[in-house]
A and B are shown apart, each in its own frame.
Chain A
Amino acid sequence: MEAADAASMAVHTQDLAKRYGKTVALSGLTMSVRRAEVFGFLGPNGAGKTTAVKLLVGLARATAGQAWVLGAPVGDLKTRRRLGYLPELFRYQGWMKASEVLSLHCELADLPRAGWKSEIAGALETVGLSERGGDRVEGFSKGMQQRLGLGVALLGRPDLVLLDEPTSALDPVGRHDVREIIRKLKDRGTAVFLNSHLLSEVEQVCDRLAVVDRGRVIATGTMSQILGQDGAVRVRVTGLPPEGRASLGSYGSLEDEGEWLTFRGLSQDRVPELVSDIVNQGGRVYAVEPRHETLEDRFLQLLKEQDR
């Protein structure tokens, strides 16, 4: 993709690489995040997720490759006004009040001073800290700090918000709130780059995702593209002769677990044909269960394939 095409994307990276000494943190990351979409960035610990985000917000410099954020090369000062970022491991100045932290970030983000008050009140309300704006941050729990961090990332209605493990310190209510915030951001046209290893979170809110392992993308696409268009079907059968079992391989990749046969990559409209075929070969069918593959199943499978 050329720079001109990258301009239309919220994020685009081309062969982005980062090495820390001899350790390769990221090797040839190529991906695109469209404007106004929620993009999940999945990967196991140490896959290079946080490194990628740090490169995108200019906290670290790439060893090789290129990256554009909101159409500008990473690090561009003007573009950073339109970015919101919640780091994974961070802390705010404990001696400041929550409202002062937000005020500082309004100032650093070059927001017009007249709008600070409403921005700060709005951010505190969105993250559920309206009552705590006057309290010093040093008295905040980890979860409250994370909420405040999210509020800081939302200041000034950014065009792109990068969230690095935004719910790692939150309780279930907090996680639900974050999902709602992400949905609202999408509704108002903000692109969200969600870096997470919480698969259920990604599954619930993301339009598209990339799976990274050992510093490179191993799968990317919409949720259905990642999970596969064709699902799996489990069939409980008795009385099927061995040669009959072997002939069923044409319906998809077959996992034989005794009475249970699992067919992967089987289109739903071929299921009646499969059942009829089993019965014709003398098999007795007790159950036919379409099996929905979860993101976790697919994620683990992708990682396993990489290990081979």
Chain B
Amino acid sequence: MHMLTIARLTVLEASRRKLLLALALLTLVVIVLTSWGFSRLPTMNGVTPAEVRVAASQLTILVAFMFSGVLALGSTLVAAPSIASDIESGIALAILPRPIRRSEVLIGKWLGLAVLIALYAVLSGLLEMLGIQWATAYLPPNPATAIAFVAAEGIVLMTLALLLSTRLAPMTGGVIALVLFFVGWIGGIALGIGQAFQNSTIINIGVGSRLLIPTDGLWHGAIFYLEPSDFLAAARAAGRVRAGNPFFADAALPVPYLLWIVAWILILLVLANWSFARRDL
């Protein structure tokens, strides 16, 4: 099982290069600061518990957005050089003549990166939620599922960067993946506006963008599980006023879309494997 050897090597590299340490320290600082900020909400003059709850729920979504952004950008930065820099530096020349398939190297790297992403999402998400609960006594309705969607967003972007890494220089692959990530975000906003105003062209563009780059879809999946039901009902009642708000989701992601995301990841891995296997080194 050389795939697991490569996965272990990927995690070990992140640890030895002090990536894990730097992320852990910075994340702890952010969690302490945001928890302190949340703890100020109930102490404001004349604020009611209901108002604290609404403010906490909105701020939780914003904090989750920050974490999802860090995870998405971080995943790209780590995945874009994963194959490309091994080829550029000559590390691949020493490893690939061994009795190991290129697919094992590729899937091993994917697995190692996915573990890192999931680990970061779970630990940082858990600590942040505990901090918020300590500060405001508020806990979102389904934080575990929201964390899973944020992790999946990172994994989707990492898979895209890994595919690009089989052919493009780290810098080029990384920039392309990030541009597509932001295009997907704008596509999600367009979809919201199209749905509010029932414009089929804009809806089609938005749906197309969500299918091609599912990161924004996953972000909306995460938001939905962070919204309390009373807030959701009030927001739905507001109608078009909420149109295109990238921090609001009025429904859970449909199962076919979730299945599409799984298929999307598999398709990209097959493409990456095909591309890497055919590359002359």
Q: Do A and B bind each other?
A: yes
Is B91's CB under 8 angstroms from A108's CB?
A: no
Once A54-B281, A107-B5 are accepted as A-B contacts, the answer to whether A59 and B94 lie under 8 Å apart by CB is no
B241 part of interface (Cβ distance < 8 Å):
no
- Distance A91 CA – B86 CA, assembled complex (angstroms): 9
Is B5's CB under 8 angstroms from A95's CB?
A: no
Query: Which of A59, A85, A93, A96 makes the CB contact (< 8 A) with B281?
Result: A59
Question: Could you tell me which residues of chain B, from 83 to 121, have a CB within 8 Å of some CB in chain A?
Answer: 89-91, 93-101
A83 part of interface (Cβ distance < 8 Å):
yes
A1 part of interface (Cβ distance < 8 Å):
no
B2 part of interface (Cβ distance < 8 Å):
yes
A105 part of interface (Cβ distance < 8 Å):
yes
Interface size of B by CB at 8 A reads 21
Interface size of A by CB at 8 A reads 29
User: A123-153 toward B: CB 8 Å interface, digit per residue (1/0)?
Assistant: 0000000000000000000000000010010
- Distance A93 CA – B89 CA, assembled complex (angstroms): 9
Once A59-B97, A104-B9 are accepted as A-B contacts, the answer to whether A91 and B281 lie under 8 Å apart by CB is no
Question: Could you tell me which residues of chain A, from 105 to 125, have a CB within 8 Å of some CB in chain B?
Answer: 105, 107-110
Is A89's CB under 8 angstroms from B101's CB?
A: no
Once A20-B280, A87-B94, A95-B16 are accepted as A-B contacts, the answer to whether A108 and B99 lie under 8 Å apart by CB is yes
Stretch at the interface among A74-82, A179-187, A199-207: A74-82
Is A78's CB under 8 angstroms from B99's CB?
A: yes
Is A57's CB under 8 angstroms from B94's CB?
A: no
- Distance A152 CA – B101 CA, assembled complex (angstroms): 19
Which B residues are in CB contact (< 8 Å) with A54? Answer: 280-281
**Min CB gap B1→A, angstroms:** 10
**A interface majority secondary structure:** loop
Which A residues are in CB contact (< 8 Å) with B97? Answer: 57-59, 80, 83, 85
Query: Which of A83, A89, A104 makes the CB contact (< 8 A) with B93?
Result: A89
A61 part of interface (Cβ distance < 8 Å):
yes
Once A58-B96, A59-B97 are accepted as A-B contacts, the answer to whether A89 and B90 lie under 8 Å apart by CB is yes
**Min CB gap B174→A, angstroms:** 20
Q: Which residue of B lies closest to A105 (CB)?
A: B98
Q: What total of A-B pairs shows CB separation below 8 Å?
A: 64
Which B residues are in CB contact (< 8 Å) with A109? Answer: 98-99
Query: Which of B9, B13, B93, B101 makes the CB contact (< 8 A) with A59?
Result: B93
Once A60-B281, A108-B2 are accepted as A-B contacts, the answer to whether A91 and B101 lie under 8 Å apart by CB is no
Is B98's CB under 8 angstroms from A91's CB?
A: no
Is B91's CB under 8 angstroms from A92's CB?
A: yes
Which A residues are in CB contact (< 8 Å) with B5? Answer: 104, 107-108
Is B94's CB under 8 angstroms from A149's CB?
A: yes
- Distance A107 CA – B4 CA, assembled complex (angstroms): 11
Q: Which residue of A lies closest to B97 (CB)?
A: A57
A90 part of interface (Cβ distance < 8 Å):
yes
Is B94's CB under 8 angstroms from A92's CB?
A: yes
Is A91's CB under 8 angstroms from B89's CB?
A: yes
Once A93-B13, A93-B91, A107-B5 are accepted as A-B contacts, the answer to whether A61 and B99 lie under 8 Å apart by CB is no
**Min CB gap A105→B, angstroms:** 7
**Min CB gap B108→A, angstroms:** 11
**Min CB gap B242→A, angstroms:** 48
Is B280's CB under 8 angstroms from A152's CB?
A: no
Is B90's CB under 8 angstroms from A108's CB?
A: no
Spell out A's residues near B (CB within 8 Å). Answer: 20, 54, 57-61, 77-78, 80-81, 83, 85, 87, 89-93, 95-96, 104-105, 107-110, 149, 152
> Can you show 13 pairs from A to B with CB atoms below 8 A apart?
A20-B280, A58-B97, A77-B101, A80-B98, A81-B99, A90-B91, A91-B89, A92-B94, A93-B9, A105-B94, A108-B95, A108-B99, A149-B94
Q: Considering the complex of A and B, which 10 residue pairs feature the smallest CB-CB distances, nearest first?
A: A90-B90, A108-B98, A57-B97, A60-B280, A87-B93, A95-B16, A80-B99, A59-B281, A85-B97, A91-B89
